């Protein structure tokens, strides 16, 4: 299970080290992290969710060497994950800007997600997914545009979880640790065109 939210927040103020590292590596490409700390998020729902998942047998991904028969959760961040997957010079701007910019960014992300069918592991193109990725974003306004953005994020997160399951830790970039918080990103191990 890949979750786009901080699962471990031990620091009272400032940024978690994993957020700082991602900012150093991806900041110039506009993929820095927001700061997560207990002052900003004293009762973070994502930390509570992680605790509940642990009580149900899930383990944090950095805690595992073998994924077989394991229930795994991992904190992810879609913007740098997309930079890694598609080797992009800058983020796909599908969340911010005016309506026209969001629509354009969401169309671009839809096209990129279609390319995942050629990756290892391939994203299976189901009729429902194909219909969703063919959505005309020019017809989306307000809550529908935001809902479409959230669904695109969910697909990215699900693919990161699938990628992690397929390649394991050797196909991933780990920022941080279980003590200070972590973020896992996919690391492209093979050129998609070579598969």
pLDDT tens digits for range 4-45 = 999 999 999 999 999 999 999 999 999 999 999 999 999 999
Residue 91 sits at the vertex; the CA angle it makes with 87 and 95, to the nearest 5 degrees, is: 145
CA–CA dist 91, 79 (Å, integer): 6
Is pLDDT at 57 greater than 80 in this prediction? yes
Residue 1 sits at the vertex; the CA angle it makes with 94 and 144, to the nearest 5 degrees, is: 30
Q: What is the pLDDT, as a whole number, of residue 32?
A: 97
Nearest to 25, CA basis, from 183, 189, 192: 183
CA–CA dist 124, 39 (Å, integer): 41
Could you tell me the pTM of the whole model? 0.92
Element (H, E) at 184: strand 181-186
**Phi and psi, residue 136, nearest 5°:** -80, 105
CA 8 to chain centre: 16
Tell me the pLDDT band of 67, cut-offs 50, 70 and 90. low
CA 33 to chain centre: 12
Is pLDDT at 130 greater than 80 in this prediction? yes
CA–CA dist 5, 102 (Å, integer): 21
Nearest to 162, CA basis, from 140, 186, 143: 186
What is the chain's Cα-based Rg? 17
Q: What is the pLDDT, as a whole number, of residue 60?
A: 94
């Amino acid at each position: 299970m890949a979750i786009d939210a901080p699962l471990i927040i031990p620091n009272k103020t400032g940024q978690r080290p994993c957020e700082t590292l991602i900012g150093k590596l991806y900041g110039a490409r506009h993929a820095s992290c927001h700061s997560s700390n207990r002052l900003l998020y004293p009762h973070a729902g994502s930390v509570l969710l992680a605790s509940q998942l642990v009580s149900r047998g899930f383990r944090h991904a950095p805690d595992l060497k073998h994924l077989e028969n394991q229930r795994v959760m991992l904190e992810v961040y879609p913007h740098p994950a997309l930079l890694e997957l598609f080797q992009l010079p800058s983020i796909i701007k599908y969340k911010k800007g005016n309506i026209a910019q969001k629509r354009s960014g969401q169309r671009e992300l839809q096209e990129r997600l279609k390319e995942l069918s050629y990756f290892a592991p391939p994203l299976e193109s189901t009729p429902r997914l194909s219909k969703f990725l063919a959505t005309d974003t020019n017809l989306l306004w307000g809550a529908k545009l935001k809902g479409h953005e959230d669904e695109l994020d969910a697909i990215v997160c699900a693919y990161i979880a699938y990628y992690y399951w397929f390649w394991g830790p050797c196909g991933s970039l780990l920022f941080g640790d279980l003590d200070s918080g972590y973020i896992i990103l996919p690391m492209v191990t093979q050129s998609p065109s070579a598969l």
